[in-house]
Amino acid sequence: MSDATEANGTAETAQAAEIGGLADGGAGGRHVRVVLVDDHRMFRTGVQAEIGRTATTGVEVVGEAADVDQAVTVITATRPEVVLLDVHLPGGGGVEVLRRCAALMADAEQPVRFLALSVSDAAEDVIGVIRGGARGYVTKTITGTDLVDSIFRVQEGDAVFSPRLAGFVLDAFASTDAPPVDEDLDRLTQREREVLRLIARGYAYKEIAKQLFISVKTVESHVSAVLRKLQLSNRHELTRWATARRLV
């Protein structure tokens, strides 16, 4: 057999193998049914476009939800293998979804597993959903390829975290002491805490709006509310306040 013929045969074999793999449902024939839970429609659309190409990724998006009630209804109806869950949702947040889906998570034959996908990298958010039963926590800076890999790992029962977030969980579960209550911080809503951290990290209003999928005017309203509740005068005082509490 000539070198050209052999090379052509090898290429055809590789192409056939690739086509066969796609027909089986993506890499290695893997397949997972997923529900997307996030209150931003544009973000859900982007995630579905990125990971929902079932023939290539093996991920089949079987439902979406924008708040707690919708999430519980869709998850109960579709019984996905993995739920991508935002931490901050109307109606009580991701923790409330986990609480109301506890029986589905505990099902021995067909467990529904949860992977938190959030813009927040705050320790209290990570610890809250993990205590609630989520199998992992990744931030929205994750790539599509890594997200698909994380989904399959969670489907298989692994725990998955973005870099450095695992340390929060290890520290929390290693400690027997309850975390101290910060009454000032407790006055803020979850969204106000997100804006606070981004302001303290030096983000401009437009950058915050883009990252949180909200308008600049909404960012300004949240900043005003934070300053009022904490009795601070400007973003410089806010930054010092957040740094002193290690929130940055």
Q: Is the pTM of this model over 0.85?
A: no
The predicted model gives 219-237 an average pLDDT of: 90
Least reliable range by pLDDT among 88-92, 121-125, 171-175, 200-204: 171-175
pLDDT at 191 over 70: yes
Nearest alpha-carbon partner for 47 in 134, 143, 133: 143
pLDDT at 115 over 60: yes
Neighbours of 194 (CB within 10 A): 24
More confident residue, 39 or 213: 39
pLDDT band at residue 238 under the 50/70/90 scheme: confident
The residue count of the chain comes to: 248
From edge to edge, which strands make up the β-sheet containing 32-37?
59-65, 32-37, 82-85, 113-118, 136-139, 160-161
pLDDT band at residue 70 under the 50/70/90 scheme: very high
More confident residue, 118 or 180: 118
pLDDT at 19 over 80: no
